[in-house]
Amino acid sequence: MAAHRLPLALTSGDPSGIGPEIAVAAWRQRDAAGVPPFYLLADPKLIAARVRALGVDIAIVETDPTGVAAAFANALPVVPLAAVLVNTPGQPDKRNAAGIIEAIDRAVADTFEGRAAAVVTCPIAKKPLYDAGFRFPGHTEYLAHLATARTGVDTVPVMMLAGPELRAVPVTIHIALSEVPKALTTAAIVETVRITAHDLRTRFGIVKPRIAVSGLNPHAGEGGAMGQEDERVIRPAVEALKAEGIEAFGPLPADTMFHARARAGYDAAICMYHDQALIPAKALAFDETVNVTLGLPFVRTSPDHGTAFDIAGKGIARPDSLIAALKLARQLSDIEAKPA
């Protein structure tokens, strides 16, 4: 079976959050929404209990990845974890940490070993994992660690928020705004754009990606009148990228980068900090935007929202972003699998 015909490996994320129920909801909408075949790495007993609590009438089948194609039309395929999970909707529990990590480990192993086409992850919460001894900042860094361990090549992950109207990539991510100017370097911008341009070519199928690079300060610094970072840090990065043959331009004032006419002029926007990228991406299409990790040797997508402990188990969580993540994972893995 060609790699792009393999099923997608879906982790259920933190089982105390909405991951299990949006996975169930995505499977229930498989025909109406065109959801590609996937299997859920989870504790089957927990999924069955959550289904009963939600009053949903669906079949669940325990299988391995090879059985997904035959099962998916009629039952939710669940690949059982070795770990037993605690079913406490809305109440995160560090006892679930082992199963959360096992699901990620096995999804990645399945992609490397030819059992899955891509990894799709439901949201996790950091504190229960930290309480259990997890020492990575989050999902993305752990996935990069697994990739490096597998390949022996240092992996630099890049976060992209991909929606129907905008692809946005922050250079700096989960740091305080006051720390951004110190963390922002010409080298970091160049590396982020290189990875973005590469994955736009190889996974999104864009032959000559156009990369818009934002400024940091209002009006992109107004020629140095409002901060020096735009001229001293960002512009040299853009010039270096142009010299490499990458179609990058900027720094651009961020307040004029995201209207419809501006977006028509580029394939991805590189932003200098977290909210500069995520606010326009989520404002334009919150329910359809997908978190894509670029720079990995496998396709990984996830919904653009968190665990939503406050509504877990209530049956009101929307699966839209997860459905979008599943469909994009299929699209990206299909493109990557095509012969050059």
Binding residues: 139-140, 174, 219, 274, 282, 291, 300
CA-based nearest residue to 121, from 130, 111, 133, 134 = 111
From residue 146, alpha-carbon distances to 132, 157, 336 in Å are: 19, 12, 20
Residues within the annotated binding site for a divalent metal cation? 174, 219, 274
Q: Which residue has the tokens 């259990």?
A: 132
Residues within the annotated binding site for substrate? 139-140, 282, 291, 300
Q: Which residue has the tokens 């999804």?
A: 107
What gap in Å lies between CA 138 and CA 30, rounded to an integer? 29
* Three-state secondary structure string covering the chain: CCHHHCCEEEECCCCCCCHHHHHHHHHHCCCCCCCCCEEEEECHHHHHHHHHHHCCCCCEEECCHHHHHHHCCCCEEEEECCCCCCCCCCCCCHHHHHHHHHHHHHHHHHHHCCCCCCEEECCCCHHHHHHCCCCCCCHHHHHHHHHHHHHCCCCCCEEEEECCCCEEEECCCCCCHHHHHHHCCHHHHHHHHHHHHHHHHHCCCCCCCEEEEECCCHHHHHHHCCCCHHHHHHHHHHHHHHHCCCEEEEEECHHHCCCHHHHCCCCEEEECCHHHHHHHHHHHHCCCCEEEEECCCCCEEEECCCCCHHHCCCCCCCCHHHHHHHHHHHHHHHHHHCCC
